[in-house]
Structure 1
Amino acid sequence: MTQRLRVTVWNENRHEKTHEKVRSVYPNGIHAAIGEGLGTDEFDVAYATLDDAEHGLTEARLNETDVLFWWGHMAHGEVSDEIVERVHQRVLKGMGLIVLHSGHFSKIFKKLMGTSCDLKWREADEKERIWVVSPGHPIAEGIGEYIEFEAEEMYGEHFDIPQPDELVLVSWFEGGEVFRSGCTFSRGQGKIFYFRPGHETYPTYYNPQVRRILSNAAKWAAPSTREYPKYGNAKPLEAIKAKG
């Protein structure tokens, strides 16, 4: 039997508490919709939110997490720098990280990217069409040529991120903008996927194709079984001849 991946879905869980429109779309929280979309056949799913002790991201929780999902928006600044560093170290040592929508401005994503991660945006209930531009990539498995949303928030270029290792998805918006909506990166031994759609007032995380992408991404970002490299002073592998 294949061992199930251990996934933790992290969410601010603030919009759901303060905005009735968001609560009506995600009554159990955005994190619950994401986790339910992954299912239990291949994943053991746990949840963590901003207001939990240590934001729910204790050393023990992170050590039991193969892949971490991150959704944040209105309270990036409330995330403790200590917890950000804790997550950062786990990514470098192999934990996968899936950053969603407005998580582009999260402390952890900006720390990993080393750039402002800024972009253009607009809320106008406009159509979005996400094109698969790397059809052979495992994250795009089972997805057609494109995904279409009748209404989503617009993100537009320039997106101030480093050049992605791989570009999997590109968005077009009704207002004319385009955006790199599915980007992969590697940092240390960890794999990172940024996925654009998921504004809190739209039911994006119920979309079957979005759920398939998130499931694919979690499996793609799973940690390697390779031993973590040894650093520091090293003894020679062979005898070193005395000089002179």
Structure 2
Amino acid sequence: MVWNEGWHEVHGGATNLADYYPGGIHGAITAGVQKLMPDAVVRTAALADPEHGLTDEVLDDVDVLLWWGHRQHADVDDAIVERVHQRVLAGMGLLVLHSGHHSKIFKRLMGTTCNLQWRNAAERELVWTVAPNHPISEGVPNPIVIPQQEMYGEQFDIPVPDELVFISSFAGGEVFRSGVTYTRGRGRIFYFSPGDQDYPVYNHPDVQRVLVNAIRWAHPAQHTVRELPAGSKREPGWFAS
């Protein structure tokens, strides 16, 4: 499922989003996923939908949730955040995209402010692979060249990642941990920063490849829980991948 708050589709931004995302941000992400995963069933939801489109019944059918938000983080209902949080702990994959670093769900899972430095000056971003053997970087050129993008820079207030997959550099000299993974409970989480609403980043074929790789990596079928032998004790919070 691709979740998009939907603010920029209505109110616009520094550029006319409809010129490069006629189906909205969620539509562009969905198109990229379906191009590379034609057998995938992809649904979309938005903040304005009843229960933000994330009812229990809907989430029962979601293996991986992609989250894009920017202007309306505070408007996401805390009860829905708790619902998504519990699903991640139970094994649902979560991909948090671009300014979703400030979403309630990501900050809840990280336990930090998730603050960072930023500057929106249409700068070139180079996304460097630092984990070439990781499934998320498979088939991705090094670097990915994004001609125009909002600069995100360190210090990025997140916990030490389980895995650092990508680091970005910008024309102004800044660097940023742009692709990081975490495990919370049984759920796998990937944060990926490229994707500002003012630039057609989700039309970039290499960005689409990263997202599809990450969906496959985060899918609960990729990390089943091993059962302990009868009579063994399981420590609190124990899980295996």
Question: Which TM-score applies when normalising by structure 2?
Answer: 0.90
Name the amino acid aligned to 1:22.
Answer: L
Q: Number of paired residues?
A: 226
Consecutive unaligned residues of structure 1, counting only runs of 5 or more, are 1-7, 231-235, 239-244
2:112 aligned residue (90, 111, 115): 115
Q: 1:138 to 1:226 in 2, by over 3 A?
A: closer
Q: 1:57 to 1:229 in 2, by over 3 A?
A: farther
Does 2:130 align with 1:137?
Answer: no
Measure the CA separation in 2 of the matches of 1:194 and 1:43: 21
Does 2:59 align with 1:66?
Answer: no
Identity score, percent: 55
Q: Decide whether the 8 Å contact of 1:93 with 1:228 is kept in 2.
A: no
Does 2:191 align with 1:198?
Answer: no
Measure the CA separation in 1 of the matches of 2:127 and 2:231: 52
Name the amino acid aligned to 2:61.
Answer: E
- CA offsets, 1:90-139, max 9 Å, x none? 00000000000000000000000000000000011111101001000000
Superposed, which structure 2 residues align to 1:151-166 within 5 Å? Answer: 151-166=148-163
Q: Which has the larger radius of gyration?
A: 1
1:14 aligned residue (7, 18, 23): 7
Measure the CA separation in 1 of the matches of 2:85 and 2:227: 17
Measure the CA separation in 2 of the matches of 1:48 and 1:157: 31
Measure the CA separation in 2 of the matches of 1:37 and 1:145: 20
TM-superposed CA distance for 1:201, in Å, is: 1.1
Residue 220 of structure 2: aligned partner: 223
- CA offsets, 1:51-107, max 9 Å, x none? 000000000111100000000000000000000000000000000000000000000
TM-superposed CA distance for 1:181, in Å, is: 0.3
Residue 236 of structure 2: aligned partner: none
Name the amino acid aligned to 1:177.
Answer: E
Residue 30 of structure 1: aligned partner: 25
Does 2:74 align with 1:77?
Answer: yes
TM-superposed CA distance for 1:144, in Å, is: 1.5
TM-superposed CA distance for 1:168, in Å, is: 0.3
- CA offsets, 1:135-193, max 9 Å, x none? 00000010111101111000000000000000000000000100000000000000000
Give the RMSD, CA atoms, in angstroms: 1.7
Does 2:99 align with 1:102?
Answer: yes
Q: 1:229 to 1:69 in 2, by over 3 A?
A: farther
Residue 125 of structure 1: aligned partner: 122
Consecutive unaligned residues of structure 2, counting only runs of 5 or more, are 233-241
Measure the CA separation in 2 of the matches of 1:203 and 1:137: 26
Q: Secondary structure at the match of 1:97?
A: strand
